[in-house]
Amino acid sequence: MREHSTKLALLRCLADGEFHSGEDLGEMIGVSRAAISKHIKGIQEWGLDIYRVQGKGYKLASRLDMLDQEKLSAVSRDASLELIPIIGSTNQHLLERTNTLESGSVCIAEYQAAGRGRRGREWVSPFGANLYLSMYWRLDAGMAAAMGLSLVVGVAVVEALEEMGVEGVKLKWPNDLYHNDKKLAGILVELSGQSGGVAHIVIGLGLNLSMDPTTSGIGQPWTSLKEVCDGKVPDRSQLAQALINAWDKSLVDYELKGMSNFVERWNRLDNFLGRNVKLIIGPREIEGVVQGIDEQGAVLLKTENGIESYIGGEISLRKGS
Domain with CATH 2.30.30.100 in the chain: 273-317
Known binding residues are: 89-91, 112, 116-118, 183
User: What average pLDDT does this structure show over 56-65?
Assistant: 92
Tell how strand 81-83 and strand 106-109 pair up: parallel
Task: Identify the CATH number of the domain defined by range 69-267.
Answer: 3.30.930.10
Ranges of CATH 1.10.10.10 domains, the chain: 2-60
Q: How confident is the model at residue 34 (pLDDT cuts 50, 70, 90)?
A: confident
Residues 128-157 have a mean pLDDT of 92
Please tell me which residue in 41, 257, 284, 318 is annotated as part of the active site. Answer: 318
318 catalytic? Reply is: yes
Average pLDDT, integer, range 15-25: 93
User: How many CB atoms sit inside 10 A of residue 49's CB?
Assistant: 12
> Can you say whether the dihedral through the CA atoms of 94, 169, 69, 1 is positive or negative?
positive
- CATH architecture entry for 273-317: Roll (2.30)
Q: Per CATH, is 2-60 categorized as 2.50.20.10?
A: no
pLDDT digits (tens, 9 = 90+) for 212-237: 666 655 667 889 999 999 888 889 99
Q: Region 279-295: what's the mean pLDDT?
A: 94
Task: Examine the residue annotation and report whether 183 is marked as an active-site residue of this protein.
Answer: yes
Q: What was the pLDDT predicted at 145?
A: 82
Check if the beta carbon of residue 180 is closer than 8 Å to that of residue 223.
yes
* The pLDDT value given to residue 231: 85
Give me the catalytic one of 118, 138, 275, 302.
118
Q: Is 2 a catalytic residue?
A: no
Residue ranges of the chain that CATH labels 3.30.930.10: 69-267
Sorting pLDDT into bands at 50, 70 and 90, what band is 123? low
Annotated binding site for biotin: 89-91, 112, 116-118, 183
Q: Out of 170, 183, 236, 278, pick the active-site residue.
A: 183
Residue 111 near residue 127, CB atoms below 8 Å: yes
pLDDT at 215: 61
Angle among Cα 253, 259, 261 to the nearest 5 degrees reads 60
Q: Is 50 exposed, middle or buried (0-12, 13-18, 19+ CB in 10 A)?
A: middle
